Amino acid sequence: MSEDEIRKKWEENPMLKPRIEKVVVNISVGKSGEPLEKASNVLKELTGQRPCKKKAKKTIRDFGIRRGEPMACVVTLRKQKAIEFLKKVLHVIDYKLPKNCFDEYGNFAFGIKEHIEIPGVKYDPEVGIFGMDVCVSVNRPGNRVKNRQRAKSKIGPNHVLNPEEAAVFVKDILGVELV
């Protein structure tokens, strides 16, 4: 299906047009204490929200990791905050995404090696440099019926989002070029 056919289908039926459900930003430090606090402050400064700390699921003695020890911090952005953050962060990767970064449901993810490459962020030697993962969940309106607690229902095969449609949507909304 070509891009023009996809856009025409969205115009005919607005419930088929995708939307960005959420953006999850993750900084994994690998140890608790001061480095995790610094990463948490960086994430709070970038997103404007208080990050949630994630704990290790199992003990790995070789790396000095204990089960239950905080290891990473995560922020979930939704609606307009998510789109604004994406526009700011996509500048780092020159608005280019590989085609294979989309999964079978149209979601995509990319990584940033150094947070200081984001526009408006200055290097602070006391804080250091952190890399982060950005995961974007894309779906259609009405997709909630398969995930809700009460009165779950199935979604028809025509309503499931595929990677091609998600790529066209991301191109239109964020101005991303697929490589």
Domain boundaries defined on the chain: 3-178
- Global pTM reads 0.86
Q: Specify the pLDDT at position 24.
A: 95
Q: Specify the pLDDT at position 134.
A: 92
Q: Specify the pLDDT at position 26.
A: 92
Q: Please check whether the domain covering 3-178 is classified as CATH 3.30.1440.10.
A: yes
- 124-129: which pairs have CB atoms within 8 A and are 24 or more residues apart? 127/38, 127/41, 127/42, 128/35, 128/38
β pairing state of 96-97 and 177-178: parallel
Q: Specify the pLDDT at position 125.
A: 82
- Between CA 137 and CA 21 the distance in angstroms is 6
63 vs 15, residue with greater confidence: 15
pLDDT band at 107 (very low <50, low <70, confident <90, very high): very high
Find how far residue 83's CA is from the centre of its chain.
10
